[in-house]
Structure 1
Amino acid sequence: MLMFAGPKRTFEDFKRQLNPHVLPAFEELRSFCLSLANTVEDVRAHRIVFGKSLTFRWFVDMEPGANSIIIKIQRDRKEPFKTITVMLDSLDEIKSQIREAHQNIR
């Protein structure tokens, strides 16, 4: 089987597809996730996934919508993840949930 491993997609590539209305909140949440210790970012076609360390135990999956951000939070691999649609006005509550997931993921 032949596989192509082209250049890795960057956040700069990704943010070109974002609605300008969503971009500030998305960038704020991205910066918050990256500020947490040992966080690794994986930029995918339609979303960004944040994991912890090289084992990449993902704790947050963010997908931009037209006027919101769909966030999946995983606290433990044995529990189902929680999906939250975040409106763009207040991000404090979701940051708290992201921090808790980051601290608990194993």
Structure 2
Amino acid sequence: MEGIISFGTKRSYEDFKKQIPTPVIPLFDSIREFCFSLGDKVIEDIRMHRVVFCKSMTFRWFADVEPEREGVIIKIQKSRKDPIQIIQIKIDQEISEITQTIKNAFEEIH
């Protein structure tokens, strides 16, 4: 018996990428690659309009990345008690401006 319970097919990043405006794809890809570079415990959760990066199977998210017409909105969560930080990155900006913030959130999530 194959697939006794099915919740539908999980979307792949390649499927999600089709809805990102073409000029934003390199920026989105570089943020995604940076999140994965943080370690083996990073899990990518593809949602309808955004990609959420979590730490391990506890699914405590540290970065919620949503494409826009002219850039990306990143919501960063360090803990459940701290307010969520929202950063907007434009196509012409370098992600080096926010990588340390993302890395700190990843390291502080329990």
Q: TM-score range by the shorter chain?
A: over 0.9
TM-score (norm: length of structure 2): 0.90
Name 2:12's counterpart in structure 1.
Answer: 10
Distance 1:67 1:87 in 2: 6
1:25 matches 2:10 = no
How many residue pairs are counted as aligned between the two chains? 104
What's the C-alpha RMSD, in Å, of the aligned pairs? 1.2
Name 2:97's counterpart in structure 1.
Answer: 93
Q: Which amino acid aligns with 2:74?
A: I
1:58 matches 2:61 = yes
Offset of residue 90 of structure 1: 1.2
Distance 1:51 1:86 in 2: 20
**Structure 1: which 5+ residue stretches go unaligned?**
none
Determine what percentage of the aligned residue pairs are the same residue.
Answer: 45
**Structure 2: which 5+ residue stretches go unaligned?**
none
Distance 1:6 1:71 in 2: 27
Distance 2:69 2:75 in 1: 17
Distance 1:77 1:87 in 2: 27
Divergent runs of 4+, >2 A: none
Name 1:36's counterpart in structure 2.
Answer: 38
Distance 1:72 1:8 in 2: 23
